[in-house]
Amino acid sequence: DIKAVYVKVFSDTVAEGNVVSQSTEGKSVVQKGDEVKFEISAGKGVDVPDFSKISMADAAERYPSLAVTVVKQYSKDKGYGAFLSQSVSAGTKLSADNNTVTVCYSEGRPFIPNLIGMGENELPALFYEFAQKGAAVEYSVKYVDSSEPKGTIVRASRFSEFVSLKESITVEVSNGKLFVSGGETPEFQQ
């Protein structure tokens, strides 16, 4: 008729599952309804390091006892590979069965590749990747007469350059309606 409370604690000396301490000494008399707290060993535990002092390349490899997931996010002011955040504070102890840490490093600013000649069907995946890494880079499509095959990108307002984390890009896509005889390429209308 006592209230037993079990709390898991990390211990370097007591094996996992065994009692580390109890709030009432052994052979003590307790009253009905009294609470007795037992600390049960959760094992040694794993210390979470300060990932701000660890490179992106080493983060997942250097600590095999942790399940480290490295995530890259765009940053307006931190260059590629710079530390941004970690999901569990440095110095925290984790158990072997709950040892997941997500570490975020900078991808730098978004870079728009040369879009000219790509297919319109490649745009959704490219811009989805920007969104997944924290950039609000959006695009709109304008269809234009061109001798290029239908669906080919013939012009873009931004390409082959770094852009801000919030950007809107206009992409002109061939509708394939301009045919050229004799192999000459017409000038595009502005």
pLDDT tens digits along 106-122? 999 999 999 999 999 99
Give residue 103's Cα distance to chain centre: 7
Beta strands in 42-96 (DSSP E): 46-47, 67-74, 83-86, 93-94
**pLDDT at residue 43 tops 80:** no
Q: Could you tell me the two tokens for 67?
A: 């399940």
Locate tokens 């110095």: which residue? 91
Give pLDDT, residue 189: 44
Residue 190's pLDDT band, with cuts at 50, 70 and 90, is: very low
Tell me the average pLDDT across 139-145.
96
Q: Specify the higher pLDDT residue, 60 or 189.
A: 60
Pairwise CA distance, residues 150 & 143, whole Å: 9
